[in-house]
């Protein structure tokens, strides 16, 4: 009886702790959402805060976005296209590389895996200059490809898929070969469906990284109509004027695609991360 009561208290304490941590983590988002419903003049006076004047609450900021902020939707579309292509291409190529490093025994396999780990430890800021020079040589500056190509085979994604694929049953590969399946057929028809949880987890992580990416698109994009959302929203804050109407409400709108992505893949997200972390 005492043990049961103790467990009940521990469970209650854990729930309260989780609620407190969740509120602290969500506090910036809650403040941002509430501030998006007040006029820009009120934002200039009080800033982003929970202590808003409820008499000032209205939809004027969102009306401005949907009726007058034409550049905002151009940035939104650019971010959607770049993020979607990055997710698809990164999952396709990174999963193939990770799968090969995990389940095929070829000369130099360990060397390539060590090379992946080495690149994983190098900060992206160090790689930006040679990548930028490559984009100039390929004449890809100010294009979608300039933003997408360096992210297509991400070291973290290759490492993650390799760790996950190690736990896949090799017996299925042998059985498929006996039945006459090609290596590509084995991967796409048998092994890739088994990697579903890992694909879902990396889709969320890669999508989030691409959607929030600021520094690399800032280097390779030039024209205003090619800007992504992070760059476009940053241009709204200048020494000559701050367009808080678009900035605050637009920042809230940027959360929506990530929430949708997580809703679609959240069922596999935790299992994909935990299985990928313990295999091998």
pLDDT of 280 above 50: no
Residue 241's pLDDT is 59
Q: What is the pLDDT of residues 181-231, one digit of tens each?
A: 888 898 998 888 888 888 888 888 898 899 999 999 999 999 988 999 999
CATH number of 69-278: 1.10.3720.10
| Contacts for 67-75: CB closer than 8 Å, 24+ residues apart | 69/245, 69/246, 69/250, 71/224, 71/225, 71/232, 72/232, 72/246, 72/250, 74/224, 74/225, 74/227, 74/232, 75/227, 75/228, 75/229, 75/231, 75/232, 75/233
Q: Would you call 89 exposed, middle or buried from its count of C-beta atoms within 10 A (0-12, 13-18, 19+)?
A: middle
Q: What is the pLDDT of residues 20-53, one digit of tens each?
A: 888 888 888 888 888 888 887 777 777 777 777 7
pTM: 0.84
pLDDT of 278 above 50: no
Which phi and psi (to 5°) does residue 241 adopt? 160, 150
pLDDT of 261 above 60: yes
Q: CA geometry: angle at 91 spanning 135 and 192, to 5°? A: 150
Residue 134's pLDDT is 92
Q: What is the pLDDT of residues 82-108, one digit of tens each?
A: 999 999 999 999 999 999 999 888 888
Mean pLDDT, the chain, integer = 84
Where do the domains of the chain lie? 1-66, 69-278
């Amino acid at each position: 009886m005492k043990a049961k009561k103790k467990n009940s208290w521990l469970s209650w304490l854990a729930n309260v702790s989780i609620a407190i941590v969740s509120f602290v983590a969500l506090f910036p988002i809650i403040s941002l959402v509430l501030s998006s419903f007040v006029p820009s003049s009120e934002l200039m006076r009080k800033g982003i805060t929970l202590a808003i004047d409820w008499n000032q609450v209205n939809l004027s900021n969102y009306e401005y976005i949907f009726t007058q902020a034409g550049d905002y939707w151009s940035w939104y579309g650019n971010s959607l296209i770049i993020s979607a292509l990055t997710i698809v291409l990164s999952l396709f190529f990174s999963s193939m590389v990770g799968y090969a490093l995990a389940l095929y025994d070829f000369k130099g396999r360990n060397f390539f895996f060590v090379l992946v780990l080495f690149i994983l430890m190098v900060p992206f800021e160090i790689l930006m200059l040679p990548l930028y020079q490559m984009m100039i040589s390929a004449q890809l500056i100010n294009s979608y490809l300039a933003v997408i190509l360096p992210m297509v085979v991400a070291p973290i994604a290759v490492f993650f898929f390799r760790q996950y694929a190690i736990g896949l049953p090799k017996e299925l590969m042998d059985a498929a070969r006996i039945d006459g399946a090609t290596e590509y057929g084995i991967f796409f028809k048998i092994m890739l469906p088994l990697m579903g949880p890992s694909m879902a987890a990396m889709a969320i992580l890669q999508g989030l990284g691409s959607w929030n990416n600021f520094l690399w698109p800032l280097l390779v994009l030039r024209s205003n109509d090619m800007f992504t959302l992070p760059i476009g929203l940053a241009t709204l804050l200048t020494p000559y004027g701050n367009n808080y109407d678009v900035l605050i409400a637009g920042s809230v709108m940027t959360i929506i695609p990530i929430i949708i992505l997580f809703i679609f893949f959240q069922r596999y997200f935790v299992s994909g991360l935990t299985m990928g972390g313990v295999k091998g």
